[in-house]
Amino acid sequence: MQQTQRHGGEPIGMVTGDSKPDQFVFSVDPESIPALYDYVYVETVENPPGSDAPVKVKVLAQIRGIRRLALGVTPEHPWLVLRNLSLPRGSDTVVAFAKVLGYKWKGRIYLPRRAPPVGSWVYLAPDDLLEDFYSVEPERRLHVGSLISRPSVSAYLDIEGIKRHVAIIAATGAGKTWASIVLIEELLKKGATIVVLDPHGEYTAMKRTIHKLGPSYANAVRVIKARKDQEGDIQYKISIASMSAEELATIAGIPSKATRIRSVIGGAKRVSLWLAKWTKENQWLSLKGLIKIIQASIDAAEAVKLQGASSSLEVFAQRFLQRLAREAAKAELEKALKIRKLEELAAVDEGLVRSIRRLWLALNRDTMPGYDAIRYLEELRRIGVYGVNTVPIDVLLEPGTVTVINLAGLRAEVQDHVVFNIMKRIFEARLRHARGIEGESYPYPVVLVVEEAHRFMPPPTKKQTRSRDVAATIASEGRKFGVFMIAITQRPSRIDPDVLSQLQGQIILRIVNPRDQEAVRDSSEQISQDLLDNLPGLNNGEAVVVGPLAPSPLMIRLRDRVLAYGGGDISLVEAWGSTREDLQLVEETRREALKKAKELLGQEFTRLDEALTALTGLDFSRDTVERGLRHLVRGSVWAGFTSTTGLVYGEVIAGNNTYEVTINLLEQRFRCDCGSKKPCSHVAAVLIRAILDDLVRVESEKIENPWEDMI
């Protein structure tokens, strides 16, 4: 209350200690002790630019340290002496350290050239002085909160500072996503085009609350999913034809040393381009088309082995091309494939012949590399992001809209590739517009928000990523073409220093890790050591802003966000409190499934794993069935049954992963995407689902009693 009364009134202290142009020490009136990070000013004489004579100015400073000095007693005094002392109030001295921020002259901030004289009065800065000092023109304002020590003074960032790129840095849980949401809200109000690269799917929740910004923002958030089983409005697609064979193999997760599998991919991809050209059907450029080509090459290689032909390559080529002709069912292709000799075919397309030879060399001894290639491509196909055509740029970019790219559930290599593809396309679209080049372009500046930035732009000595190079290009050249990056991270020490140093605007929340503090200090010239030392003491939602975003280093308290996001810590009370409910559901599901299995098999069983083993002829363990029941209770499981073939099939969604399952009751075998050789929890979950839904029947004409011989 006293501080409010003394704003700009009576002095609260006097400069008594070390005084420099950029800092000073002052003794504080014990009746008016200011708070840490509050603002004071001293009056001094300066020669501002454009002034013919010295003028008196108010030099603003921020308190970066406060301490009390005892008079007459020390920590070394015995307690028996101290407890009998009666120290009068005010017998200690309060000393404060203030960092000079500058003074305002004709709308601009300047740093003083003179040190405040010792004996100068120190005043608590009034609100109007702070508002003027940190003022931003109304049309350029981004309202992000208030001054950390003055809730009455609003804090604004300068939208023009976005052009120099931004880093939002904080320890986990300190509020970095909170800061990014507030910044996104303000940029939306300015009509910005925003793309959020979201590795965890946290920003998708903005779509559900965007109406809170007002009716005009009802459609201002769109969600594009990179995996088909995740949350999103539409699926992002990347053209297979635009990728090299090596790129495709790496994204599929094929090890670099698996040269034969990579050769199969390379040969098949070249053949797919040839087929698409001859048939004029782009289906051959899809992953499904590649799989058909590889299967045809496997069939041809196995046919050659059975025939035992001496001219194996020639025979392989003929068998392979004949199978492709039947698959394509095109007269033009059949006519082209009447060429019997490879020499003749080479005259038409030498690259095709090389691809056929490459396939033969990879498969002639063993066709397993072909099956392995199919397995890798099938996994990639289930993701859904790789197809024939790439999503148009106008689906990604729209003025006054936030496009959230939901990357949840993707492997790190695929996330990196999708981020690389999107960043590259956005940069090139803006470059084409700026230079008037034909092709995919976009006429408005774009703000690219990269969450978990250390994943995508690490130092090259630590990890190789595709997205780092394009991120470095955007950081160094993006402002010329209107592509601005906001990188969010809790580990700045794991970001390429060359990229981090280009992110000149920084919003820094609490940081504890010494390496991360050092990385922040090295990346910004405006982070002083005393400010760095104070970072661990910031509360959640409190931040230091430096660089072109603010007229001067700014310490703020973030305002409440309007939009929701899916981050934040879980509630242990809620999470563990639901355990009892889950256990009860598991028990109820087990009893129901066992009851139906008994009816189905016409036998008595004491345990569900025994019933599943009897039904399938596979060895189900008790633990496997328990985990399968938990999938049913906590995840998403569906099942189907084909009576004519005795095939149970289905899908289990567990966390961010999806597993397709097939169980052949007649042949007593199974397959699961997890790759397990023994019946796994996903197989158990699908089988139990089929039993619970009464899908498995014994009345089939072809399967009168498929388990009769298994019991």
The closest of 612, 661, 663, 658 to 635, measured between CA atoms, is 658
Q: Tokens standing for 257? A: 């040393």
Domain ends where: 360, 383, 406?
A: 383
Domain ends where: 558, 586, 602?
A: 558
What percent of the chain lies above the pLDDT cut of 70?
89
Same domain, 362 and 472: no
Same domain, 642 and 548: no
The closest of 367, 366, 370, 341 to 266, measured between CA atoms, is 370
Question: With contact defined as beta carbons under 8 Å apart, do 432 and 421 qualify?
Answer: no
Same domain, 455 and 529: yes
| Range with the poorest average pLDDT among 57-61, 224-228, 342-346, 434-438 | 342-346
Q: Give the pLDDT score at 711.
A: 28
Phi first, then psi, for residue 664 (nearest 5°) are -95, 110
One-letter identity of residue 295: Q
Question: With contact defined as beta carbons under 8 Å apart, do 297 and 268 qualify?
Answer: yes
Report yes or no on 466 lying in a domain: yes
Phi first, then psi, for residue 77 (nearest 5°) are -65, 135
Using CB atoms within 10 Å of the CB of residue 297, give its burial: 0 to 12 exposed, 13 to 18 middle, 19+ buried.
buried
How far apart CA 447 and CA 165 sit, in angstroms, is: 9
Q: Give the pLDDT score at 3.
A: 41
At 366-376, the pLDDT tens digits run: 899 999 999 89
Structure confidence at residue 166 as a pLDDT band (50, 70, 90): very high
What percent of the chain lies above the pLDDT cut of 90?
53
- What is the b/e burial string over 393-432, where b = at least 16 CB atoms within 10 angstroms of the residue's CB? beebbbebbbbbbbbbbbbeebbbbbbbbbbbbbbbbbbb
Structure confidence at residue 511 as a pLDDT band (50, 70, 90): confident
Residue 74 makes CB contacts below 8 A (sequence gap 6+) with none
Residue 302 makes CB contacts below 8 A (sequence gap 6+) with 367
At 638-654, the pLDDT tens digits run: 888 877 677 888 888 87
How far apart CA 177 and CA 172 sit, in angstroms, is: 10
How far apart CA 104 and CA 100 sit, in angstroms, is: 12
| pLDDT at position 685 over 90 | yes
Domain ends where: 383, 400, 431?
A: 383
Same domain, 176 and 321: no
- What is the b/e burial string over 77-86, where b = at least 16 CB atoms within 10 angstroms of the residue's CB? eeeeeeeeee
Q: Give the pLDDT score at 116.
A: 95
Same domain, 309 and 353: yes
- What separation in angstroms does the CA of 500 have from each of 315, 472, 526, 555? 58, 9, 14, 21
- What separation in angstroms does the CA of 296 have from each of 241, 282, 316, 326, 327? 20, 18, 10, 10, 9
Report yes or no on 415 lying in a domain: yes
Q: How far apart are the first and last CA of the chain?
A: 85
Report yes or no on 704 lying in a domain: no
- What is the b/e burial string over 26-62, where b = at least 16 CB atoms within 10 angstroms of the residue's CB? bbbbeebbbeebbbbbbebebebeeeeeeeebbbbbb
Same domain, 634 and 599: yes
How far apart CA 270 and CA 293 sit, in angstroms, is: 10
Q: What is the dihedral of CA 315, 316, 319, 325, to 10 degrees?
A: -130
pLDDT, average across residues 228-244? 88
Q: Give the pLDDT score at 324.
A: 82
Same domain, 410 and 450: yes
Strands 55-70 and 39-46, bridge-based pairing: antiparallel
Same domain, 286 and 166: no
Report yes or no on 77 lying in a domain: yes
pLDDT, average across residues 13-18? 93
Q: Give the pLDDT score at 707.
A: 34
| Range with the poorest average pLDDT among 20-24, 78-82, 466-470 | 78-82
How far apart CA 328 and CA 318 sit, in angstroms, is: 15
* Secondary structure E strands in 535-682: 542-546, 554-558, 636-642, 647-654, 657-664, 669-672
pLDDT, average across residues 175-202? 94
In DSSP terms, 449 is beta-bridged to 196, 486
Report yes or no on 192 lying in a domain: yes
At 257-287, the pLDDT tens digits run: 999 999 999 999 999 988 888 778 888 899 9
pLDDT, average across residues 404-432? 93
Q: What is the mean pLDDT of the chain?
A: 86
In a 13 Å sphere around the CA of 57, the CA atoms on its Cβ side amount to: 28
Report yes or no on 69 lying in a domain: yes
Same domain, 548 and 649: no
In DSSP terms, 57 is beta-bridged to 44
Same domain, 8 and 89: yes
One-letter identity of residue 361: L
- What separation in angstroms does the CA of 185 have from each of 120, 211, 490? 44, 12, 21
Domain count for the chain, please give it: 4
Q: What is the DSSP string of 541-556?
A: TEEEEESTTSSS-EEE
Q: Give the pLDDT score at 2.
A: 39
Same domain, 435 and 542: yes
The closest of 373, 241, 382, 365 to 304, measured between CA atoms, is 365
| Range with the poorest average pLDDT among 74-78, 144-148, 569-573, 597-601 | 569-573
pLDDT, average across residues 364-386? 89
The continuous run of DSSP H or E covering 338 comes out as none
Note the pTM of the prediction, 2 decimals. 0.76
**What number of H helices and E strands is found in the chain?**
25, 25
Q: Give the pLDDT score at 334.
A: 54
| pLDDT at position 1 over 50 | no
- What is the b/e burial string over 263-275, where b = at least 16 CB atoms within 10 angstroms of the residue's CB? bbbbbbbbbbbbb
Taking only Cα atoms into account, the Rg of the chain, rounded to an integer number of angstroms, comes to 34
Q: Tokens standing for 548? A: 């072109």
The closest of 346, 339, 343, 347 to 322, measured between CA atoms, is 339
| pLDDT at position 484 over 90 | yes
pLDDT, average across residues 334-339? 53
| pLDDT at position 134 over 50 | yes
How far apart CA 608 and CA 596 sit, in angstroms, is: 10
Same domain, 157 and 213: yes
pLDDT, average across residues 563-570? 71
Domain that includes residue 679, residue range: 573-692
| Range with the poorest average pLDDT among 98-102, 174-178, 644-648, 681-685 | 644-648
H/E/C letters for each residue in 237-275?
Answer: CEEHHHCCHHHHHHHCCCCCCCHHHHHHHHHHHHHHHHH
